[in-house]
Chains A and B, each alone.
Chain A
Amino acid sequence: MVPSSPLLRCVCVRKAFPGVLALDDVSLTVEAGTIHALVGENGAGKSTLIKILAGAHRLDAGCVEIDGRNVDISGARDAEHHGIAVVYQELNLVRDLSVAENIFLGRWPTIPKTRLIDFSQLHRSATSLLASLGIDLPPKTPVGELTVARQQMVEIAHALSLDARILILDEPSAVLTPHELEALFTLVRDLRARGVGIIYISHRLDEIFDLADLVTVLRDGEHISTRPIAEVDRNRLIAEMVGRELTDEFPSRDCPIGEALLTVDRLSAGHRFRNASFAVRAGEVLGVTGLVGSGRSSLLKTIFGAVRATSGKVCAGDAVGPFKSPRQAMAAGIACLPEDRKQEGLLLQRSVRENATLANLSAYADAGILSSRRERGATSDLMRELRIKAVSTESTVNTLSGGNQQKVLLARWMDRPHRIVLFDEPTRGIDVGAKYEIYSLINRLAGEGVAVVMVSSELPEVIGMSDRIAVMHEGAITGILDNRQRQATQEQIMRLASGEVCANDS
């Protein structure tokens, strides 16, 4: 090992896919014991770069050096051999196997001269590894029973059990609560102190300023800048990512607020949440926030008829619910964008057209027979309007980037007018530029007199976008804050969300 050479160096890496240059001479250096943040919009090339390091893609030109030596990474095993480990946003764990079995997946210790797993040895190894990392996890528990945050810890332990010296974390924070995030940060800082080189990818700039030593910006496959975090200015960073100045992270909205369109009265759904009451008026955005598990998403789904209400009332215009199915809720003028776009939203194997028209099929049909010409026309209009980047209306949705997938889902609901639109985490996992477009779209809807409910766990977004903010704690609304002047503070919200106080101004 040559002491002066960096742990990992990518030199002029180039990768092209049919029709697009994903990486154009990108260079990146990661020193041992540093956290290097990688930022950029979706489609900037971050994922491609990671996949090259993980051995999932081959580079077309350039080279990767580890400890100053040129290495060839042509498969996952090569990456593992060179000490590179990736923790993807979507975890690769076997839910029915235990923590210990997952950590040593496929490398289980066996009883000598047999092919039987030596479980006592396995649990000992897992316990000592977890202890050395300072992770408190029961080795025998099936990972399916753990929270997502703890599953992520298992994934990190798995990576480090392979003696990884370079750890790549791809948006690890997207699914974590603030408390869990703190635990992750502690672990990551600890790993840095042990000399692991870390590449950290996130769309949340706060985290990057909190955690990283260096930050590199990619845009459209090109390297834009690499600077120590201390020298980075937040607005400039955003400008570099999107390639233009965004004067404000949240576009302003100034529209009159009319009469109540959606009234929820003492709505309950079993143990998920209880006695939720509020009204949303035309042109108003109601933010709903709270910790994971506080019942935010269930509340939204119950209004939409996807979860059965156990008591209470929902009024949408003339229609009185609770609605028994999404179909009924839609008939009452309600639209709902689900939280998990892959599980609950998209038909991943199907085309943009089939996804965009799904909620409004009868509009394209005469006597039950669809007109593909009309579908195509409407889809191209929506693609232009929402600036969806896809080759054609017939492109398969799973080939699009996250932001574009989210826009396809938006297109499905913009396809016909709704008076009430429910958003569940509308900007999760998508980049700054696309976020801005989605905020603008929400504002446009409000301007058209739509009543908007937006569930979000990102407090700056809730404060930046809502007229009022409902905060939930363990299934109950603990307070509704007035935010017409954007005057709510994160502290106020967190106190309500943690159940410390109960405001009664609703």
Chain B
Amino acid sequence: MTRKTDGTPVQPRLAAPNPYGTETSSFVTWAVRLRMPIVLALLVIVATILTDGVFARKENLVNVARQISFEALIAFGMTLIITTGGIDLSVGSLVAMTGVVAAIAMRGIGADSASLCILVGLLAGVVVGAGFGTASGTIITRFSLPPFIVTLGGMLIARGLGFIFCSGQPIYEGLPEQLTTLGSGFVLPGLLGKTLPVPVLVMLIGFAVFWLLLARSVFGRSVIAIGSNEEAARLSGIPVRRTKLMVYVLTGGLCGLVGVMHSAKLMAADPKIGEMWELNVIAAVVVGGTSLFGGRGTIPGTLVGALIIGVLNNSLNLLHVQHFWQKVVLGVVILLAALLDAGLSRLGKSR
């Protein structure tokens, strides 16, 4: 409807305003494109002021990066899935299950040869995770089932199997001591004034790889094409099934990697971890500007989304906000992000 609200004419969405295409460079377009980084910057400033600068200390910033690294890694894979128009609810359970499987594998090898043991653990986690993703992806593509329901089933299966594999008890025994480096170690001493945690390094590598994949590769373009018009993609010779299968395989593999790193961080494989991760991960992706309807998504956006959530959690902790209230604040922020997204993109369109 064309209604005058606060004096600005708002055009209906259906309108194709200009037969020769839209102007691409203008202040509003930039503001729309950079809306989430702007929100992140504002959050950082507010957090710094409210905590008297504690937030902005290097140790704390490194801490934030470490806190988001696991979920951000999975969020990169989830960005691909959501961009195809899909979803994966099984990621949290899969982290727990692969962590357990990797621990069992490592226990089997024995801690005598630590590097071989860790290598086998990593391999077991990634292969089992990717295998689980293959199963979900195959069911989704072969039987044309909605990803929501398939991965909801997968979520329960992975959670249950995780408990079954370790008989319900966390595994502490038989893990090589050197494994701790993978979860809590540091690399590149001297850089960043202090050091770079291994999980953050892995996340940054994942960021680079998935950015390249989505923004610059034939595979990524296929992902976007499928999400924006699956039939058009198929009729243009895009291998739709294979591409859709692949995004679940990749995300499953990431879950396996994170599962091993998480066990390494705790020096224990706990079948209870990863609860609610699927929703945190989806929140990071959506706050980062990826459309739940598919066809639009970026990896840098997802990193910003994960950072927004991470900064918020961290600063609320620093401010000693009660845990229950933290959840409320986080929920409100996610809603505000969605509203801002809708409002600003309408503004961008109506020009």
Interface residues of A (CB under 8 A from B): 17-20, 22, 42-43, 47, 51, 55-58, 74-77, 304, 306, 325-327, 330, 336, 338, 343-350, 352, 354, 358-359, 361-362, 365, 368-370, 372, 389-392, 394-396, 398-401, 404, 412
* Closest Cβ neighbor of A390 among chain B residues: B21
Q: Do A365 and B217 touch (CB < 8 A)?
A: yes
B323 interface residue per 8 A CB criterion: no
Q: Is B135 an interface residue (CB 8 A)?
A: no
Starting from the known contacts A56-B12, A76-B1, A389-B21, 18 additional A-B residue pairs (CB-CB under 8 Å) come to A42-B19, A57-B2, A57-B11, A74-B3, A75-B1, A338-B235, A347-B224, A347-B233, A350-B225, A354-B224, A358-B225, A361-B218, A368-B218, A369-B218, A390-B20, A390-B21, A401-B16, A401-B19
User: Is A399 a contact of B218 with CB atoms below 8 Å?
Assistant: no
Q: In this assembly, does B296 line the interface, its C-beta being within 8 Å of a C-beta of chain A?
A: yes
Which residues of chain B are near A399, meaning CB under 8 Å?
16-19, 21-22
Which single member of B3, B16, B235, B239 contacts A306 (CB below 8 Å)? B235
| Complex interface bits, B290-311 against A, C-beta within 8 A gives 1, otherwise 0 | 0000011000000000000000
Contact indicator A55/B2 (Cβ below 8 Å): yes
Among the listed A74, A326, A370, A389, which residue makes an inter-chain contact with B19, where contact means beta carbons less than 8 Å apart? A389
Chain B residue at minimal CB-CB distance from A338: B235
Nearest CB in chain A: distance from B20 CB, A: 5
Give CA–CA (A192, B9) in the complex, Å.
Answer: 35
Q: Indicate whether A346 sits within 8 Å of B232 (C-beta atoms), given known contacts A56-B14, A74-B4.
A: yes
Given contacts A391-B21, A399-B18, contact A330 B231 (CB under 8 A): no
Which residues of B in the span 1-48 have a Cβ within 8 Å of any Cβ on A?
Answer: 1-4, 9, 11-12, 14-24
Which residue of the partner chain, among B2, B18, B296, contacts A349 with CB atoms under 8 Å? Answer: B296
- Rounded to whole angstroms, the CA-CA distance of A18 and B24 in the bound complex is 11
Asked if residues B222 and A361 are in contact (CB atoms below 8 Å), the reply is yes
Q: Which residues of A contact B4 (CB under 8 A)?
A: 74
In the complex, are the beta carbons of B21 and A336 less than 8 A apart? no
Task: State whether B22 touches A396 (Cβ < 8 A).
Answer: yes
Give bound CA distance, A58 to B221, whole Å: 38
Q: Is the interface of B mostly helix, strand, loop or mixed?
A: loop
| A389: B residues at CB distance < 8 A | 19-21
- Which residues of chain B are within 8 angstroms of A336 by Cβ–Cβ distance? 235
Task: List B residues 152-168 near A (Cβ within 8 Å).
Answer: none
Q: In the complex, are the beta carbons of A391 and B22 less than 8 A apart?
A: yes
Nearest opposing residue in chain A for B16, CB measure = A399
For the complex, give the distance between the alpha carbons of A343 and B12 in Å.
Answer: 21
Closest to A392 in B: B24
B216 interface contact, C-beta 8 A = yes
Closest Cβ of chain B to A231, distance in Å, is 30
A346: B residues at CB distance < 8 A:
229, 232
Residue of A nearest to B2 (CB): A75
Task: Report which of B2, B21, B217 forms a contact with A56, defined as CB distance below 8 A.
Answer: B2
B234 adjacent to chain A (CB < 8 Å): yes
Tell me which residues across on chain A come within 8 A of B15, comparing CB atoms: 51, 56-57
The minimal Cβ–Cβ distance linking B70 to chain A, given in whole angstroms, is: 28
Flag if B24 contacts A365 (CB, 8 Å).
Answer: no
What CA separation (Å) do A391 and B17 show in the bound complex?
13
- Which residues from chain B contact A400 at a C-beta distance below 8 Å? 16, 19-21
Task: Give the distance in Å from the alpha carbon of A47 to the alpha carbon of B14 in the complex.
Answer: 12
Q: In this assembly, does B113 line the interface, its C-beta being within 8 Å of a C-beta of chain A?
A: no
Give 1 or 0 for each of B223-243: 1 = CB within 8 Å of chain A CB.
Answer: 011001101111111110000
Q: Determine if B11 and A370 form an interchain contact, defined as CB atoms under 8 angstroms apart.
A: no
Specify the chain B residue showing the minimal Cβ separation from A394.
Answer: B24
Q: A458 to chain B: closest CB distance in Å? A: 23
Q: Is the CB of A369 within 8 A of B212?
A: yes
Q: Which residues of B contact A344 (CB under 8 A)?
A: 229, 231-232, 235
Asked if A362 meets B21 with Cβ closer than 8 Å, knowing A345-B232, A398-B16, the reply is no
Q: How far is the CA of A20 from the CA of B23 in the complex (A)?
A: 11
**Is B327 in contact with chain A by the CB < 8 A criterion?**
no
User: Are A350 and B239 in touch, CB under 8 angstroms?
Assistant: no
Q: Which residues of B contact A349 (CB under 8 A)?
A: 228, 295-296
Q: Is B58 an interface residue (CB 8 A)?
A: no
Q: A359-B236, A369-B216 are in contact. Are A348 and B228 (CB under 8 A)?
A: yes
**Could you say which residues of chain B place their CB within 8 Å of the CB of A352?**
21
- B194 close to chain A: CB less than 8 A: no
Given contacts A399-B18, A400-B19, contact A365 B237 (CB under 8 A): no
Of B3, B24, B236, B238, most A-chain CB atoms within 10 Å: B236
Q: How far is the CA of A325 from the CA of B235 in the complex (A)?
A: 8
Q: For the complex formed, measure the closest distance between the CB of B250 and the CB atoms of chain A, giving whole angstroms.
A: 14
Task: Give Cα A412–Cα B221 distance, bound, in whole angstroms.
Answer: 15
Q: Which of B82-136 contact A (CB under 8 A)?
A: none
Q: Hey, which chain A residues are within 8 Å of B233, CB to CB?
A: 347, 358
Q: Check A19–B20 contact: CB distance below 8 A.
A: yes
Given contacts A74-B2, A399-B17, contact A391 B24 (CB under 8 A): yes
- B232, chain A: closest CB distance, angstroms: 5
Contacts of A368 in B (CB 8 A): 217-219
In the complex, the answer to whether A326 meets B237 with C-beta atoms within 8 Å is: yes
Known: A57-B15, A395-B22. A354 touches B221 (CB 8 A): yes
Tell me, rounded to whole Å, the shortest Cβ–Cβ distance linking B350 to chain A: 11
Q: List 7 A-B residue pairs with CB atoms under 8 Å apart, sorted by A's residue number.
A: A18-B23, A20-B19, A20-B20, A346-B232, A349-B228, A365-B218, A395-B22
Question: Across the interface, which residues of B come within 8 angstroms of A22, CB to CB?
Answer: 18-19
Chain A CB within 10 A, most for which of B17, B19, B216 = B19
Interface-central residue, A17, A372, A390, A404, by most chain B CB under 10 Å: A17
Q: How far does the alpha carbon of A87 sit from the alpha carbon of B335 in the complex, in Å? A: 37
Q: Which 9 A-B pairs have the closest CB atoms?
A: A395-B21, A391-B21, A43-B19, A359-B236, A17-B18, A401-B19, A390-B21, A347-B228, A330-B237
Given known A76-B1, A391-B23, A399-B17, contact A18–B216 (CB-CB < 8 A):
no
Q: Which of B300-332 contact A (CB under 8 A)?
A: none
Minimum distance in angstroms from A428 CB to a CB of chain B = 16
Contact call B236/A412, Cβ cutoff below 8 A = yes
